[in-house]
Structure 1
Amino acid sequence: MILRLAEEERLSGAVVHGNLVYLAGQVADDATLDTEGQTADVLAQIDALLAVAGTSKENLLSVQIILADIRDAPAMNRAWDKWLDPASKPARMTIQAPLVNPAWRVEITGIAALS
């Protein structure tokens, strides 16, 4: 069975299949925030999607973070470190790439196990 959550015009915010939850790339609802603020916004969206799917950040297996400017990594990491459960760190990569909206500073996607 495949369950699609938070469907939009072109994508689902998350897809549940088997024991896994696949997150679409999440971007800030408020693009006027700085990188730390946008990251916190995105992480709150991830918390909400995982809750709807029946899991939580403690079950994240891997996360991919895309920054519009890699020099924003320290600001992104400040929000990440506040949010992260140190006992449940996922595998993670961070890269720089242009994002669709130039006002977006960060996009995050990942895969989580169901609880």
Structure 2
Amino acid sequence: MEIKRYKTSHRWSVATVHNGVAYITGQTAKDTSSNLYEQTKQTLEKIDEILADLGSDKSKILMATIYLQDVTKFQEMNKAWDEWVAEGAAPARACIEGAANNPAELVEIIVTAAVD
């Protein structure tokens, strides 16, 4: 049984791959001064980069969990998500309100994806 860890630190790995499945830890925007729509776009770009490094892409996402600082702004996040999600490959998804460690982080996204 092989487990691959990607960008590992003492505390966590950005991703862990086992049995053809990548488990990607919560990703947030680089620029937390921007609005929820922009932070979501930045976060999804980071996920694209991680998936590419792991030999996968957004069309292979199995599940996404999205945490929002303020769930009443759900539509801003959804706008960015809808522009990004692969046509015909929408994953199972949950979106809930949750406080981030950094109050400037308006969105955090965790994904599980198939890898080749």
RMSD of aligned residue pairs (Cα, Å): 1.0
28-37 or 6-15, larger mean C-alpha shift: 6-15
For 1:20-99, list aligned pairs within 5 A. Answer: 20-99=21-100
Counterpart secondary structure, 1:22: strand
Task: Give aligned pairs, total.
Answer: 115
Letter in 1 for 2:97: Q
Q: Percent identity?
A: 37
Residue 6 of structure 1 and its aligned partner are, at CA, apart by 2.2
Residue of structure 2 in register with 1:107 after alignment: 108
The normalised TM-score by structure 1 is 0.95
CA distance in structure 1 between the aligned counterparts of 2:34 and 2:43, rounded to whole angstroms: 11
| Superposition misfits of 4+ residues, deviation over 3 angstroms | none
Q: Which runs of 5+ in 1 are unaligned?
A: none
Letter in 2 for 1:57: K
Q: Which runs of 5+ in 2 are unaligned?
A: none
CA distance in structure 2 between the aligned counterparts of 1:23 and 1:39, rounded to whole angstroms: 16
The normalised TM-score by structure 2 is 0.95
Counterpart secondary structure, 2:52: helix
CA distance in structure 2 between the aligned counterparts of 1:63 and 1:9, rounded to whole angstroms: 25
Counterpart secondary structure, 1:99: coil
Letter in 2 for 1:97: G
1:20-65 CA distance string (max 9 Å, x none): 0001000111111110011001100100111111110000000000
Asked if 1:15 is matched to 2:16, the reply is yes
